[in-house]
Amino acid sequence: MDFNLLYEFGLAGIYFTLISLFAFFYTSGKKGIEYKYLRLGLTAKIMGGISFGLIYMFYYGYGDTFTYFESAKILGDIFIEDPVYGLQLIFEVTDYVRVEDYLYNQFLVNYYRGDDTFTVIKIAGLLSALAFGGYFSTTILFACFAFFGQWKLYQTFIDRYPNIKFELAVAHFFIPSVIFWGSGIMKDSIVIGFLGLLVHSCDQLFSKGKRKFFNLLLVTVSAYFIYTIKSYILIALIPALLFWFFFSFNSRIKNGVMKTIVFPVILALVSISSLYSYVLIKSFDEKFNSEQLLNQAKVYQSNHYTEIAIEGTRSGYTLGDYDQSVLGMLAQVPSAVAVTLFRPFPWEIRNIVMALSSLESLILTFFTLFVFYKMKFGRLISYFTSDDFMIMCLVFTLLLAFIVGFSSYNFGALARYKIPCLPFYFSILFFILDKQKKGMSTTHYRKHKTYR
């Protein structure tokens, strides 16, 4: 795809300046260190999106990001010329044949076969119109939307854990892979934005009961887009939200005996509700049939491992042979979670992108070992059982890590697929560290008081 770089960078510079000024005036006069992190995080996000585009433009020379944009620009140009017709193309999903016939002349018909891709192109088309058809200016708008969702998620965390605002800012704004893969014109940027909005709105509903209609609407819209674009993320999120809701209810019970009685009932309700949610989603889309999921995962694994890993030149991996059944799949949970969070190992590096991913995984591995060093298992359990929100974070992290680790079989794809769970996992580690520090301070205080 040909770009007028002078126009692209000039327009991107204008958008970056305007957004930076808006962020500056929005945060001016506001108390709280978090608003400093907002400006820094937004800048990092925009720079990540631009870097993503530049690397794909000058290093790879191609990529889905350009195909999305080329398709979206057609819709964006239509929207500028005829806004009513443009809105019909973007929002009238039932007009699928009409859209396909129109775009056939642009040789883009083959790229519109999936609802997930078409949804991304419609969003990108609308943003392209707002960005005057510039690739990098559209990228900046994608980055801003993704950051807005991350900011709302960050607000949800610091509202609960105000003592670790800096650590949570690192977890939500400054993880390199999230900055890079979650800021460009890609599915990941949209999903990250809606994921943050969904969790924040659920918090407003579950914990605070604020603006119920608005937040319920936002939950519904966010869930729809996540389901349409990357449905497996919603599959991982629903059980986590159910755990959060039911354990939040259990924490409000003051009577210890009653709480003990209710606890197994809550676990049963969560299990039943999660199963029902899966059945409900499966009824809408047959691809979530367990047998089909296994077959699909097997195909992905075969394609990535056989064609890439055996060559020894790229980024495939394997979890080993397993029984192709639900039990066989469950037996792969530890390996799949480990590969998502802690691999590729240094000796598995095949290219510069893998090297950066490996460095991040190595840091996460050492950080995890540091946090869990000398940690008593019973104390760790008590940290989570006393905090329903962290239970949600843990369940979501483990489920998503398993899903992407089990199905990807390619470190390049894995680096993108796992980014939604990384802020949650880093937040969990910082939460445990904070709990440890508070426990040590309390112990020191008690010993000092006893001595005196």
pLDDT at 94: 43
CA distance 430 to 283: 39
Residue-level pLDDT at 246:
80
102 Cβ contact list (under 8 Å, min separation 6):
89
Would you say residue 451 has pLDDT above 70?
A: no
Residue 31 has phi, psi (to 5 degrees) of -85, 150
H-type alpha helices, 95-134:
96-104, 115-130
Band the pLDDT of 97: cuts 50, 70, 90.
Answer: very low
Three-state secondary structure along 246-292? HHHHHHCCCCHHHHHHHHHHHHHHHHHHHHHHHHHHHHHCHHHCHHH
Distance (Å, whole) CA 186 – CA 63:
10
Q: For residues 84 and 321, what is the distance between their CA atoms, to the nearest angstrom?
A: 54
Q: What is the pLDDT, as a whole number, of residue 13? A: 96
Neighbours of 285 (CB within 10 A): 12
CA distance linking residue 113 with residue 188, whole number of Å: 19
Q: Which residues contact 110 (CB under 8 A, 6 or more apart)?
A: none
Question: What own/partner pairs with CB < 8 Å and gap ≥ 24 does 154-162 have?
Answer: 154/34, 154/37, 154/41, 154/196, 155/34, 155/200, 156/199, 156/200, 156/203, 157/427, 158/34, 159/203, 160/389, 161/431, 161/434
Taking 80 as the threshold, does the pLDDT of residue 212 lie above it?
A: yes
Alpha carbon separation from 191 to 4, 196, 224, 266, 397 (Å, rounded): 29, 9, 11, 30, 15
What is the reported pLDDT for 359? 94
Give yes or no for residue 452 having a pLDDT over 60: no
Task: Indicate the pLDDT class of residue 59, thresholds 50, 70 and 90.
Answer: confident
pLDDT tens digits, one per residue of 256-270: 666 566 666 666 666
User: Does residue 220 have a pLDDT over 90?
Assistant: yes
What per-residue confidence (pLDDT) applies to 329? 76
What global pTM score does this model have?
0.87
- Residue 201: closest CA among 215, 190, 214: 215
Residue with token string 């992407």: 404
Handedness of CA 319, 321, 324, 330 (dihedral sign): negative
Cβ neighbours of 335 (radius 10 Å): 17
- pLDDT at residue number 443: 43
SS3 316: strand
- Judge whether residue 332 has pLDDT over 50: yes
Among 48-52, 92-96, 355-359, the range scoring the smallest mean pLDDT is 92-96
pLDDT in tens, 8-26: 999 999 999 999 999 999 9
| pLDDT given at position 375 | 74
Dist. CA 330–CA 246, nearest whole Å: 25
pLDDT digits (tens, 9 = 90+) for 184-198: 999 999 999 999 999
Give the model's pLDDT for residue 209: 74
**What helix, strand, coil percent values describe the chain, rounded to 5?**
80, 0, 15
When pLDDT is averaged across residues 126-133 and rounded to a whole number, the result is: 91
pLDDT at 347: 87
250-302 per-position pLDDT tens digit = 666 666 666 566 666 666 666 666 565 555 555 555 555 555 555 655 655 56
Give me the pLDDT at residue 409, please: 81
Nearest to 300 by CA among 287, 318, 284, 325: 318
What pLDDT is attached to residue 103?
A: 53
Spell out the SS3 assignment of 146-167: HHHHHHHHHHHHHHHCHHHHHH
| Domain residue limits, the chain | 5-185, 289-452
Share the mean pLDDT of the chain.
81
Question: Per residue in 366-401, pLDDT tens?
Answer: 999 998 886 776 677 778 778 889 999 999 999 999
Which tokens go with 351? 């290219």
Q: Sorting pLDDT into bands at 50, 70 and 90, what band is 157?
A: very high
DSSP letter for 32, please: S
